[in-house]
């Protein structure tokens, strides 16, 4: 299989999603509150957050909510994703049937847990069609081993790690233990032309300082954005992934120098302090400026 850009607007051209907020499917009283939380996307969860006896009720709640939701792109409406149960299981099959029956009211994306091979993406895409984005969660050693193949599947629009499951299987301890796993998924996404992977949820909702530090570490590895399990985490995540005034000032300096160099026909471009810049540095600076403009980052004085 070959990688391809999503149908319609290429992923790279879309406004980036920074904070996703999980909401249990059996708590419909929280759905509207989640939409107003400031998250870029709300994930209605049918999997881990819902106990087995409540699965059918949660599915009904989610389908009913989606059927009455404003269309995608409506002003102020965040994107709405649904995390289904593993698609090869009984509850996952029922989830797919229910979402397929929604037609135009289907969610903006379906997050698929326990993905281990491209065949899992095939199963979901065949049931839901090309219009629904497939986001794959890699939660096992085999899933991470096959990250590049899963990312290259034409229906897949994003990858993410399921770090709790990986920690249990691999006996990982401490945030630093995830570094090589995260880097591997970053590479798989980049090679397939997918957006940078978002980070998994930080489970200690009271530890906002730890969340912020963990986000910065993930950002340094090339990840972008994060899922949240409580509304109080949303602002912390957005702040961590927003370029600060110093980053924006440097990016604008690089962009201005590149523009002047192009006007002068200069082959090599030097900044006032003597540092030389090349095309990849200029491209990175332009991305920083675009991200800062989108997120409303503070302008340097």
pLDDT at 264 > cutoff 80: no
Taking the CA atoms of residue 24, residue 164, residue 1 and residue 180 in that order, the dihedral angle to the nearest 10 degrees is 140
d(CA 120, CA 151): 12
Per-chain mean pLDDT for the chain: 88
139 labeled part of a ligand binding site: yes
- Residues 145-204: tens digit of each pLDDT: 999 999 999 999 999 999 999 999 999 998 899 999 999 999 999 999 999 999 999 999
The two three-digit tokens of residue 80, written as one number: 């709405």
Convert 224-241 to b/e letters by CB count within 10 Å (16 or more is b).
bbbbbbebebbebbbbbb
165 labeled part of a ligand binding site: yes
The values of phi and psi at residue 111, to 5°, are -95, 125
Give the bridge partners for 158, in sequence order. 135
First-to-last C-alpha distance (Å) of the chain? 49
Domain coordinates of the chain in residue numbers?
Answer: 11-240, 245-295
Q: Which CATH code, of 2.30.30.140, 3.30.300.30, 3.20.20.60, 2.40.50.140, is assigned to 11-240?
A: 3.20.20.60
| pTM (2 d.p.) | 0.85
- Please say whether the beta carbons of 159 and 189 come within 8 A: yes
Average pLDDT value for residue range 98-124: 95
Which candidate, 3, 63, 14, 68, places its Cα nearest to that of 41?
14
157 labeled part of a ligand binding site: no
- Residues 227-237: tens digit of each pLDDT: 999 999 999 99
Average pLDDT value for residue range 129-153: 95
């Amino acid at each position: 299989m070959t990688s391809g850009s999503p149908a319609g607007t290429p992923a790279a051209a879309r406004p980036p999603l920074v904070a996703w907020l999980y909401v249990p499917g059996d708590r419909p009283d929280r759905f509207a509150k989640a939409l107003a939380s400031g998250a870029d996307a709300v994930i209605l969860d049918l999997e881990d957050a819902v106990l087995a006896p409540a699965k059918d009720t949660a599915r009904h709640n989610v389908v009913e909510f989606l059927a009455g939701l404003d269309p995608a792109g409506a002003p102020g409406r965040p994107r709405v994703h649904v995390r289904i149960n593993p698609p090869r299981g009984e509850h996952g099959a029922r989830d797919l049937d229910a979402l397929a029956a929604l037609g135009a009211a289907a969610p903006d994306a379906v997050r698929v847990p326990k993905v281990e091979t491209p065949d899992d993406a095939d199963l979901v895409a065949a049931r839901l069609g090309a219009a629904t984005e497939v986001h794959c969660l890699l939660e096992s050693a085999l899933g991470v081993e096959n990250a590049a193949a899963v990312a290259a599947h034409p229906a897949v629009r994003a990858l993410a790690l399921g770090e709790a499951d990986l920690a249990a299987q691999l006996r990982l301890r401490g945030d630093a233990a995830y570094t090589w796993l995260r880097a591997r998924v970053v590479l798989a996404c980049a090679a397939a032309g997918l957006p940078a992977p978002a980070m998994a949820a930080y489970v200690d909702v009271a530890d906002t300082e730890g969340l912020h530090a963990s986000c910065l570490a993930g950002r340094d590895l090339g990840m972008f954005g994060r899922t949240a399990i409580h509304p109080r985490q949303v602002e912390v995540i957005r702040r961590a992934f927003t370029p600060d005034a110093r980053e924006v000032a440097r990016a604008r300096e690089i962009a201005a120098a590149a523009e002047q160099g192009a006007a002068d026909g200069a082959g090599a471009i030097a900044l006032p302090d003597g540092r030389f810049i090349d095309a990849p540095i200029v491209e990175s600076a332009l991305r920083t400026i675009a991200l800062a403009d989108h997120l409303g980052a503070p302008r340097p004085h």
